[in-house]
Amino acid sequence: MKIAFLGGGNMATALIGGLLARGFAPGALSVIERLEAARAALATGYGVHASGGADDATRAADVLVLAVKPQDMRTALAPLAHVVRDKLVVSIAAGVRLADIARWLGGHRRLVRAMPNTPALVGAGVAALYAAPEVGAEERASAERILGAVGKTVWVEAETLLDPVTALSGSGPAYVFWFIEQLAAAGAALGLPLETARTLALETVLGAAQLAARSGEPASVLRERVTSKGGTTEAALRVFAEERLAERLRRALEAASRRGAELGEQLGRD
């Protein structure tokens, strides 16, 4: 499988590194990148072909991965409509809907839309994917292989579900960073040195996530197991319940999901 990337930013670079680590040859990967310095970095750092526009490598690719900024997508696709006819096109641009991509590509419908997240930069991401009906099983497997190079993948049955996916896992790392920040600040307020509190907060979140991932048990079971009756954890969780933090978190994700739908509408306007 030969893969061309439209855009050579952080996520494209992470995918390229992940694919190379999984045995892809540099010659199987190419990038269209408008910035000369970025092209040089890709060629030097990864040994892949990088060009300023569509060329023979782009035309020879089986898959085109759209990795430009959402607001730049329409302009970036304009010169590519004639080279995608026989290709699977995978978009990792947040919010840009397949109907709009298809329109900008002259009616091309072999499209997959994916929502990765930033932990992909360290090979620990998760991506949700949705495939247009015209995409076959083999092409779905190709898309999964590409996104799976930097983490786990899941499929959703409707494109509209990518809005809640964006709210949950796309924006989710920011929520976790915020929680680490607040946990450390609270520890410092209780008298711990700030650096000590930061280390404790970070390692606690990291360790708890690893435990949850490896145990195979629901998070609710793990929570109950460390919540002794009348103990310190129960005292803290009681405050969470009194402050209705679960409801507030749900409302926050609803707001993020609504905003994702609004941005999709805005990006697709002619």
**Residue 207 has what pLDDT?**
97
CB neighbourhood size of 24 (10 A): 19
| pLDDT at site 221 | 97
pLDDT digits (tens, 9 = 90+) for 47-89: 999 999 999 999 999 999 999 999 999 999 999 988 998 899 9
Please give the DSSP secondary-structure letter assigned to residue 89: E
- Report d(CA 97, CA 140) in Å as an integer: 18
Pick the closest to residue 70 from 242, 261, 202, 267 (CA basis): 267
Model confidence pLDDT, tens digit, residues 97-109: 999 999 999 999 9
Give the 3-state secondary structure of residue 23.
Answer: coil
223: which 2 tokens? 């929570």
Residue ranges making up the domain that contains 92:
3-158
Regarding whether 37 and 108 lie in a shared domain, the answer is yes
Q: Are residues 153 and 178 in the same domain?
A: no
- pLDDT tens digits, residue range 106-138? 999 999 999 999 999 999 999 999 999 999 999
110: phi > 0 → left, psi -120 to 50 → alpha, else beta; which? beta
The answer on 216 and 104 residing in a single domain is no
Question: Is the pTM higher than 0.95?
Answer: no
Q: Is the same domain home to 19 and 104?
A: yes
Here the CATH number for the domain that contains residue 249 is: 1.10.3730.10
Express each pLDDT in 21-35 by its tens digit: 999 999 999 999 999
Which of 158, 186, 219 marks a domain boundary?
Answer: 158
> Given pLDDT bands bounded at 50, 70 and 90, which one contains residue 269?
confident
Q: Look at residues 124, 158, 192 and tell me which one is the last residue of a structural domain.
A: 158
Number of structural domains in the chain: 2
Question: Is the pLDDT reported for residue 230 higher than 90?
Answer: yes
Q: What is the mean pLDDT of residues 166-185?
A: 97
